[in-house]
A and B are shown apart, each in its own frame.
Chain A
């Protein structure tokens, strides 16, 4: 980690009484607004800390991690090879459970992809400035999660080489897609989301890419960073337009946060299968996605701030805030679970009631109770500040939520399908090796992309973080109670 050279850094709590530790900003003091960046940082140190991660010699640990992710990615590609040359039968899908792991994985990954845009767009619009430290890599996580998500529905179709028929392309057959199908809405929703998220991420990165361009010493880097920084000079006009564009994109992206997972939930909600056919699904899925997405951000942020020396930027307060969101959305998800059961009972509808008895007491009860433990019980720890600010506890809860949210989709997809209307068609779903390898392999894709991102792109939005440091508001220096936000 770069040594801090500047003593201009202003730490408003350096002399405060309620200091929990030298670098702790997770205190609650109504008289103080906690700083968003700790440590003695000035603009130079921020730039150096962040760009050094990209410009220094590649550490051995990165190579090791990259090799492991690549192995997983290769496994993923091998599974795709098997899939395409043999057929979707290499998975465990069968007649009642026509959607198995691929769709579970798809919904899981799309859900993870929610936190990024939520942090960048909604929190931006709500002026939650603490987002600046984590938004860049949360957005990256979003994009990579959507990549993983996109792979599954495209490959899960029986004839993947014809998956492009899902797009409304004029063609010699004179055929349009069937617009009443929620799967088609899904195609539009996910594509829109992926496009806007990518744009948002890229636009937000332009000033930082320019910084890298300026500091990069090798030719290829200079060329590529230069190319992608689109001639950024940092002039006021650039800044003005940049901020307008960013605001507009944030406004565009905000409804998408809600729409994508709502539309994904329509895949289930508009069907007539008991256990899927539920009006509560859109909000329930969105809450679940935010819940799962934030858990994944925490899962990635905790090691990243450790390994990349970003503890000053991704502070305990950031983590705590995310944990609060996890708690809140976890409660919404728990409420949705309860509502589903209540509705089943209240409907007096036999098939509906059966599904909701079959979940806890049927052959997949282990999956159901895994889900309940991970999604309902585990986040309750976050009622306690000690837990919210404890790295081991939050890692435990975040991992629980990651697992639990995967199981939630598994429970929804599998338990509803495996015993539907006619008892004669009831059957069990058992995943094959390829199913499991492909799920693990998708993490290979995710981490490969993520490691490339960590190595070559600015992990923290330098320009924005600088904006929330006290130095950006030097005229407020006399004021102890200054706000760390932009004006």
Chain B
């Protein structure tokens, strides 16, 4: 209703609403506040004095900072004149590809921004990865942008180029035709590429007298030879751990670097996750050094490799496996174990024996025969042909002998680094010196390159057209994500050049290898990354006739076990992400100490960090000791791949070259080593102290973590039987937190409530999440000197706790607990920040505002999980091998952009801020991924659906131990997991209301029936 008439009308007035016409006081007021939050009175009401006061104070204090005038770094941008098809600037695209390692391809999915690959993920369509990926694959993107990769061909120590090589090759290999390739040898990495196989065939047809050698430092020949012994044919076991109730592993790295580890761990986890339904598989691991299998095991026995062989034979004999016998009698301890395993195996409904590659051919064969005997074939393992094996190949020892004898004039090395990693008795470097023409294709100018006549830069897999077979045989296509940055070429391209072919990009070769003639099929292959239906078919096996016998008795001297390390066989030695990823058990970064039994070491007066000398067959290694709980007495484990002399400056001289002890007759295990202390000390950079801890510290740790067999407070673990009886047993020691004096200001659930759950029962501590987080979130590397000071930057760390006395307990239990920001609803960090740089958003994210942070570090002090990380230096701009950066005598805020190598800058995820020095950072629950999912959801007027967001750590996890989602959604997986009886909050008693919950670990010890 119109209450009053407009006043002071002079002439015709137009009105916009009845209210205006009425000109009520409310309307007038509204008119005054036309612009919300802008009150003109406030400005007008400010007196001149007040204005000058405020201006003066602002100017003075801005002046104090000396950067009142901030200058931002100069940037050059080159926009497209017209947008290329299918590209939306700033929106990432994903392509399927594959990474070949050790002749086995892993299916990957690469995120690419504006033409540069920045993040590796598992290909969900790939049968062997199902979306997960390994730490090595995650870290490969850093290698792509390593400015120290080889950039040009080198001929006799002088810079050369591909054209020179092409001219050389045409003449040189043309001349070889006359002799049918006499004196021509090829040494290749293991490869399952069909393109290379075809070229190999062409090559050997043209040069019938040439030889082809396959060599991989991480030796998996035991399985090839073992299956041949067991079944009369070289086979590849395809483990199906989800089908077995009992899994017995003998010295297997199936959960570590094994090419099938993603599928194996996923299958194992499937059998663990059923614990809530009251059944769970049981794992027995018998091993000579602590592996991921041992961490996953319900019963772990630490034995010397020689003892493990006897146990295997004992179990085989006990189970009545054809042809298996033990010569002599086993000692009581081993007999007991044999009986236990045999009983368990025969009682289990389905059991499988996992044979490790560290075993010798005989014992490996026994394992396979046991599998055949107990009916595990088809119910835990199937066998397929072994695509890598080629009977016609010559072995490395023969090749080296021929080279020494001067019978090899031309050696073409496709990848690999034999001078560094070939068995030391072959003396490969000197053999190579006797070869007139040696050509080495490799990504870095490495130890082999510098002594070869030709070094050729190898393209990174993210720059290449390649193909390969994954462990199950599925052909996996590698498509380039970017043109070669440094002009590298693939093995197939080099073989084409050697054969006198045209220099091509390898697309045609790969296309032919994929066998897809028509374009549509090819597009499908590219889209999925795999060629459907190419998995190897299982073959039926029957035990061969040969007898398999193992001698009982004690081996003399120390037994040395060579294992792959965080940098695999050394080829990733220049990758700072991998070097800085703490080893799951030792927590050592930037080093590969020798792992010793605690009692052995103490008897020899050796402490962790002491220099030791290991001699083996006349060879000598000086390295550093690490007293490893659960390392069997009489053994030394030596991780391979460190101590590189020729790689980039990042990896040069990091750690110790353990290859110097490894000879061709003992590539996995060697016997008869001696050990002595050198009485000097070396600093090992560990991110978690297991050692050097005093009695008080021991007490404090034990009361939080629990004794062996006890539940613990921060890491909770229970036995399956107890859990079945009392579903709430995980919470038995919890005290309720009294209600707060004040109501929480918000539930932080509008419209989503983000939360996470981590299942400690399926976490094996593989570090893939750590590297995935690092790659996704631009987490910098700090270097050894800063790790020593306790400044590692990993947003996500894997906490490892041992339970049990390392002196008296042969195999202490291990619990791994991934730890990152819990996004506490009642976050202690937020209350103490004086500049409000860390605040909560409405959906429960504890956000970090980097450009507001001034770095008081108070938040870190008040964080009970200590998951906040501080940029003490500008780590991105600093070499990881230096302690501190050079002085920056410039405007402080301009530091990051100006001093990071432009090639290195390409690895940064553009969705995540690159933090400068002096600011705090921490896990954001991958807020950029959340936003990326929220925007389309909001456009569609809905909330984010479960599964739409996967955090980087969740994505990498092969066992699905990490679940993220919306707690508002009652059907979301994370909500279900939070409601699980095993779910508990770490330090929940502090009333900080963490949004991440942990599921207690469940063990299934050998005290009850197997209940798979």
Residue ranges of A at the interface with B (Cβ–Cβ < 8 Å):
81-82, 84-90, 92-99, 156-167, 169-171, 173, 175-178, 180-184, 187, 267, 270-273, 350, 354, 357-358, 361-363, 417, 419-428, 430
Question: Which of B612-620, B796-804, B960-968 is near enough to bind chain A?
Answer: B796-804
Indicate if the CB atoms of A95 and B854 lie closer than 8 Å. no
Give the CA-CA distance A423 to B819 in the complex, in Å: 12
Indicate if the CB atoms of B714 and A158 lie closer than 8 Å. no
In the complex, chain B residues whose CB is within 8 Å of the CB of A157: 854-856, 918
B557 at the interface (CB under 8 A from A): no
Q: Contacts A99-B861, A158-B871, A182-B832 known; A423 to B866 CB distance under 8 Å?
A: no
Indicate if the CB atoms of B697 and A164 lie closer than 8 Å. no
Of chain B, the residue at the smallest CB distance from A427 is B790
B786 at the interface (CB under 8 A from A): yes
Indicate if the CB atoms of A175 and B834 lie closer than 8 Å. no
B973 at the interface (CB under 8 A from A): no
Residue ranges of B at the interface with A (Cβ–Cβ < 8 Å):
54, 57-58, 61-62, 64-67, 688-689, 694-697, 699-701, 703-705, 713-714, 786, 789-792, 797, 799-801, 817, 819, 828, 831-836, 852-858, 860-862, 864-866, 869-874, 884-889, 892-893, 916-920, 986-987, 990, 992
Indicate if the CB atoms of B58 and A420 lie closer than 8 Å. no
Indicate if the CB atoms of A422 and B892 lie closer than 8 Å. no
Give the CA-CA distance A182 to B833 in the complex, in Å: 8
Q: Contacts A86-B887, A361-B694 known; A272 to B858 CB distance under 8 Å?
A: no
Q: Contacts A161-B65, A163-B65, A165-B854 known; A423 to B694 CB distance under 8 Å?
A: no
Of chain B, the residue at the smallest CB distance from A350 is B703
In the complex, chain B residues whose CB is within 8 Å of the CB of A354: 696, 699-700, 703
Indicate if the CB atoms of B696 and A161 lie closer than 8 Å. no
Give the CA-CA distance A273 to B856 in the complex, in Å: 16
Tell me the dominant secondary structure on chain B's binding face: loop
- Which 6 residue pairs are nearest across A and B when measured between Cβ atoms? A158-B855, A158-B918, A89-B872, A94-B790, A98-B857, A425-B866
Tell me the dominant secondary structure on chain A's binding face: loop
Of chain A, the residue at the smallest CB distance from B799 is A424
Of chain B, the residue at the smallest CB distance from A184 is B834
15 of the cross-chain contacts (CB-CB < 8 Å) are A81-B887, A87-B917, A89-B786, A89-B873, A96-B790, A98-B860, A161-B66, A177-B834, A270-B831, A272-B862, A350-B713, A358-B697, A358-B700, A422-B866, A426-B688
Give the CA-CA distance A96 to B862 in the complex, in Å: 10
In the complex, chain B residues whose CB is within 8 Å of the CB of A183: 832, 834, 856, 858
Q: Contacts A87-B874, A271-B828 known; A158 to B836 CB distance under 8 Å?
A: no
CB of A353 to closest CB in B, whole Å: 9
Q: Contacts A89-B791, A159-B918, A363-B694 known; A422 to B831 CB distance under 8 Å?
A: no
Give the CA-CA distance A177 to B695 in the complex, in Å: 44
Of chain A, the residue at the smallest CB distance from B890 is A85
In the complex, chain B residues whose CB is within 8 Å of the CB of A99: 857-858, 861
CB of A362 to closest CB in B, whole Å: 5
Indicate if the CB atoms of B836 and A88 lie closer than 8 Å. no
Q: Contacts A98-B861, A354-B700 known; A158 to B853 CB distance under 8 Å?
A: yes
Of chain A, the residue at the smallest CB distance from B889 is A85
In the complex, chain A residues whose CB is within 8 Å of the CB of B917: 87-89, 158-159
In the complex, chain B residues whose CB is within 8 Å of the CB of A176: 836
Indicate if the CB atoms of A362 and B696 lie closer than 8 Å. yes
Indicate if the CB atoms of B696 and A423 lie closer than 8 Å. no
Give the CA-CA distance A165 to B835 in the complex, in Å: 7
Contact among B786, B835, B889, B919 with A166 in the assembled complex (CB-CB below 8 Å): B835
Give the CA-CA distance A173 to B54 in the complex, in Å: 15
CB of B190 to closest CB in A, whole Å: 38
Q: Contacts A178-B835, A424-B688 known; A164 to B65 CB distance under 8 Å?
A: yes
Indicate if the CB atoms of A90 and B836 lie closer than 8 Å. no
Indicate if the CB atoms of A92 and B789 lie closer than 8 Å. yes
Give the CA-CA distance A157 to B858 in the complex, in Å: 10
Of chain A, the residue at the smallest CB distance from B990 is A272
Give the CA-CA distance A157 to B871 in the complex, in Å: 11
In the complex, chain A residues whose CB is within 8 Å of the CB of B892: 84, 159, 161
Contact among A95, A164, A423 with B61 in the assembled complex (CB-CB below 8 Å): A164
Of chain A, the residue at the smallest CB distance from B59 is A169
In the complex, chain A residues whose CB is within 8 Å of the CB of B701: 423
Contact among B62, B694, B864, B870 with A421 in the assembled complex (CB-CB below 8 Å): B864
Indicate if the CB atoms of A420 and B856 lie closer than 8 Å. no
Give the CA-CA distance A164 to B59 in the complex, in Å: 11
Give the CA-CA distance A166 to B853 in the complex, in Å: 11
Indicate if the CB atoms of A171 and B58 lie closer than 8 Å. yes
Q: Contacts A82-B887, A177-B834 known; A95 to B858 CB distance under 8 Å?
A: no
Give the CA-CA distance A171 to B57 in the complex, in Å: 11
In the complex, chain A residues whose CB is within 8 Å of the CB of B705: 423
Of chain A, the residue at the smallest CB distance from B852 is A175
Indicate if the CB atoms of A163 and B700 lie closer than 8 Å. no
Give the CA-CA distance A157 to B856 in the complex, in Å: 5
In the complex, chain B residues whose CB is within 8 Å of the CB of A361: 694-696
Give the CA-CA distance A99 to B857 in the complex, in Å: 7
In the complex, chain A residues whose CB is within 8 Å of the CB of B67: 161
Indicate if the CB atoms of B832 and A270 lie closer than 8 Å. yes
Of chain A, the residue at the smallest CB distance from B54 is A170
Give the CA-CA distance A316 to B596 in the complex, in Å: 66
Of chain A, the residue at the smallest CB distance from B66 is A161
CB of B790 to closest CB in A, whole Å: 3
Of chain B, the residue at the smallest CB distance from A357 is B696
In the complex, chain B residues whose CB is within 8 Å of the CB of A95: 790-792, 860, 866, 869-870
Indicate if the CB atoms of B866 and A96 lie closer than 8 Å. yes
Q: Contacts A87-B918, A423-B701 known; A358 to B696 CB distance under 8 Å?
A: yes
Give the CA-CA distance A57 to B63 in the complex, in Å: 39
Give the CA-CA distance A357 to B694 in the complex, in Å: 12
In the complex, chain A residues whose CB is within 8 Å of the CB of B828: 271-272
CB of B763 to closest CB in A, whole Å: 14
Indicate if the CB atoms of A419 and B858 lie closer than 8 Å. no
Indicate if the CB atoms of A166 and B696 lie closer than 8 Å. no
In the complex, chain A residues whose CB is within 8 Å of the CB of B872: 87-89, 93-94
Of chain B, the residue at the smallest CB distance from A176 is B836
Give the CA-CA distance A272 to B65 in the complex, in Å: 32
Of chain B, the residue at the smallest CB distance from A417 is B861
Indicate if the CB atoms of B855 and A88 lie closer than 8 Å. yes
Contact among A81, A98, A187, A272 with B870 in the assembled complex (CB-CB below 8 Å): A98
In the complex, chain A residues whose CB is within 8 Å of the CB of B695: 361
Q: Contacts A169-B57, A350-B703, A420-B866 known; A430 to B832 CB distance under 8 Å?
A: no
Of chain A, the residue at the smallest CB distance from B693 is A426
In the complex, chain B residues whose CB is within 8 Å of the CB of A184: 834
Q: Contacts A94-B789, A161-B893 known; A166 to B865 CB distance under 8 Å?
A: no
Contact among B58, B855, B861, B887 with A271 in the assembled complex (CB-CB below 8 Å): B861
A sample of 9 more A-B contacts (CB under 8 A), given A157-B854, A181-B831, is: A88-B917, A158-B918, A159-B917, A163-B854, A173-B852, A177-B836, A350-B704, A423-B801, A426-B688
Indicate if the CB atoms of B834 and A178 lie closer than 8 Å. yes
In the complex, chain A residues whose CB is within 8 Å of the CB of B696: 354, 357-358, 361-362
A156, A267, A424: residue with the most chain B Cβ atoms closer than 10 Å: A424
CB of A18 to closest CB in B, whole Å: 54
Indicate if the CB atoms of B697 and A181 lie closer than 8 Å. no
In the complex, chain A residues whose CB is within 8 Å of the CB of B800: 424
Give the CA-CA distance A95 to B860 in the complex, in Å: 8
Of chain A, the residue at the smallest CB distance from B828 is A272
CB of A169 to closest CB in B, whole Å: 5
In the complex, chain B residues whose CB is within 8 Å of the CB of A156: 856
Indicate if the CB atoms of A187 and B834 lie closer than 8 Å. yes
Give the CA-CA distance A92 to B790 in the complex, in Å: 9
Indicate if the CB atoms of B864 and A422 lie closer than 8 Å. yes
Give the CA-CA distance A402 to B66 in the complex, in Å: 35
Give the CA-CA distance A166 to B713 in the complex, in Å: 39
Of chain B, the residue at the smallest CB distance from A159 is B918
In the complex, chain B residues whose CB is within 8 Å of the CB of A166: 834-835, 854
Indicate if the CB atoms of A87 and B885 lie closer than 8 Å. yes
In the complex, chain A residues whose CB is within 8 Å of the CB of B61: 164, 167, 169
Indicate if the CB atoms of A177 and B835 lie closer than 8 Å. yes
